[in-house]
Chain A
Amino acid sequence: MQKIIKITILFIFLFVIGIFYISLTRETNYNTSSLINKETPEFKIISFDNSNFYTRNDIKKNNYTLINFWASWCAPCKIEHPVLMKLSQKKNLIILGINFKDKESQAKIFLSELGNPYDLLAKDKNGKHSVKFGIYGIPESILINKELMIIQKFVGPLSVDDYNNIIKIIE
């Protein structure tokens, strides 16, 4: 009986240690890995000039599409802008810019000052569309292929490494 009690105590001790170990080494930050290799969600988003709507059909036409959430009030968006300008020169990549919770006049000034890298430009006035793409802060970018599968998701401003990574994928 004494032996059983000892084994039980040892088992409980090891179990508690195991739980602590798993919990403390677990990645608790927001992780985008669950969205990769998943299909792009259905969306219908109004264009920046209110002239039409963009849907998944507009993505199907291109080999690769980079959806970029940005705003004029977002400082890191200015940092990543040169990378987007460079990416806009690539032929098999279409960039869909989604202006996030922004003032239209400010967004226009932003683009006229820094350049417009977007082939398609839409707006998400209240941010509801961003939730469909699992966005929790901007800038965030999503690389999608012709089959509408999410290949990569970039949280934060696009870096030179991200640029090289995208080029490697699309070429």
Chain B
Amino acid sequence: MKLNLILLLFIFFSKFSFAAEKTVDTNLIHKNLRCLVCQGQSISDSNSDFAQTIKLVVKDLIDEGKTEDEIYEFMSEKYGDWIVFKPQFNTQNSLLWILPYIVLIFGGFFIFFFLKKRQ
């Protein structure tokens, strides 16, 4: 009886975790893709022809088992980084990603030494 219960729980949780792994948030992807023919709208907000087509392609890519990042990569490859609201890390925008951390570290040091000197 105990063994059966353990097995049942194991199957339930393994299925649950498998489902969680496979879930890709379609809405989130639509929200992070820019409608190139609209003014400042995402694919999610737009009903344009272009947005409808992109939604179909995103659905196909999800059905093929592509991850969220792979979908963004695919779209960037076709339409450039402009299509993604949250750009991927690359050499061109590396400074933008790294700079806040550099400022934080140097700022911390600066404040630390400034306060130390005042004391």
Contacts and interface: CB of A to CB of B under 8 A. Distances in A.
B80 interface: yes
A137 B50 CA distance: 7
A156 interface: no
Given A8-B110, A136-B36, A137-B37, A131 B53 contact: yes
A115 interface: no
Given A30-B36, A136-B37, A128 B53 contact: yes
A134 B49 contact: no
A25 interface: no
Contacts, number: 39
Interface stretch (B5-13, B21-29, B54-62): B54-62
Contacts of B53: 126-128, 130-131
A112 interface: no
B108 to A, nearest CB: 14
Contacts of B50: 136-137
Interface string B85-119: 00000000000000000000000001000100100
B49 A101 contact: yes
Interface residues of B, number: 18
Interface residues of A, number: 18
Contacts of A8: 110
Interface string A116-136: 000000000011101111101
Contacts of A133: 78
A134 B82 CA distance: 12
B80 A34 contact: yes
B93 to A, nearest CB: 11
A89 to B, nearest CB: 32
Interface in A81-132: 101, 126-128, 130-132
Nearest to A127: B53
25 contacts: A8-B110, A30-B36, A30-B82, A31-B80, A31-B82, A101-B49, A126-B53, A127-B49, A127-B52, A127-B53, A127-B56, A128-B56, A128-B60, A130-B53, A131-B53, A131-B54, A131-B57, A131-B78, A132-B78, A133-B78, A136-B36, A136-B37, A136-B79, A137-B37, A137-B50
